[in-house]
Amino acid sequence: MQYARPIIEHLLTKGKLEAAIEGSLILCRHYADQERGSMVAQHSARYHTLMTDFHAGTINDDDYRPERARINRAMLEVAHAIPADWTDEALTQASFSPQAYDKATGIPQQKGRGWWLALGVLGLLLVLGIGLREYIFPLKEPLQTQTEVLQKPSDSPQQESQKPAQEAPANTKPTIIKKTDAKTRVQPQKQPSQLPPIQEKPPASTSTTLATSDERFRSYGKSMVANDMELGYMGSKKAFRNVRNKEILCCYTDAEPFSGGKAWVSKDGVNYFYIDNKGKKVD
C-alpha cells in the first residue's frame, strides 16, 4: 500500500496530466471530499475542452501550450493539498492504470504535416527552376535572322544627302484646287471631325470583406457555474456570465471560476487580481 499524494505528483511531473486528473477524481469520490472533487472536475473540463479544440484545429500550438501549463500548475496545487493519510487503495479498487491515459505525451502532432512540408519545398524548387531556366539556358536567335541583319545595306551619307530636304508628313492631306469661271480657289480638303473617344466607365468596385466577428458567449463543454457566475469564452478571451440577469464580464486572458463571491483573473496573463460579480477589483 502506498500513499496517494506522491503518486499524483509523480504523474504530473511526468507530463501525464489526464491520468493525474482521473486519479484525483477517484480519490475524491472514495474519500467523499466534495469540495476538492468539484475543483478537480473543473480542471478536468478545462483539459478536455482544450484537447477537443486543439484536435479540431480551432487553436494552435501557441495557445495550446500555455493553457496546458496552467491546468498542470493548478493540478499540482491540488496534489500538494491531498491529505497525507489518503492511500492508493481506492486506485487499486478502481483498476486505475496510468498507462491508459496520455498515451501521446506532450503536444499531439497533427497528421500529415510532414507531407505538406515536403510538397511545399518541392513546389518552391519547381518555381525557382522555371524562373532560372532562361538565365541558365538562354534561347539562341535563328540563323536566318542574323544573316538578314548582316546583309541589310545601311544608308550611306551620299544617299542620305540625296533625300528631299523636307518630306511631307504622312498624315498631311493633299489640297484640292477647284477652278471656277471667275477665279481660282484653293480649298483644303476637310478632315472628318474627330470625336473624343468614348470613355467607358469602370465597373463599380464591389468591396467585400472576409472578416467576421464572433462575440457570443461560449460555455465550456461541461458548464462551470459558481456563485451564479458561469465561466466561458468571448471570442478568444475568457469571460463570466451571470446566469440570473445574463450580464457578461469580459475579457480576460486567464481566469479561474468564482469562489466565495470573487474570482482570480488576469487581463495580460502576468498581473492577477480578484473581482466581484460586477467586475470590480476586490481584495
CATH architecture of 217-282: Beta Barrel (2.40)
What is the distance between the alpha carbons of residues 239 and 219, in angstroms, rounded to a whole number?
Answer: 9
pLDDT greater than 50 at residue 122: yes
Locate the domains of the chain by residue range. 4-100, 217-282
Nearest alpha-carbon partner for 217 in 231, 203, 201, 205: 231
| Cell numbers representing residue 9 in the block | 505528483
Give 209-249 pLDDT, tens digit per residue: 333 344 578 887 777 788 889 989 888 889 999 989 988 98
Q: How much is the mean pLDDT over the chain?
A: 76
Sign (positive or negative) of CA dihedral 223, 226, 229, 233: negative
Q: How many helices (H) and strands (E) does the chain have?
A: 8, 11
pTM of the model: 0.38
User: Mean of the pLDDT values across residues 124-134?
Assistant: 72
Q: What is the pLDDT of residues 4-33, one digit of tens each?
A: 999 999 999 999 999 999 999 999 999 999
96-121 pLDDT, tens per residue? 988 877 554 444 444 445 666 777 78
Task: Assess contact for 45 and 222: CB atoms under 8 A.
Answer: yes
Rounded distance between C-alpha atoms, residue 7 and residue 16, angstroms: 11
Give me the mean pLDDT over the 51-72 stretch.
Answer: 93
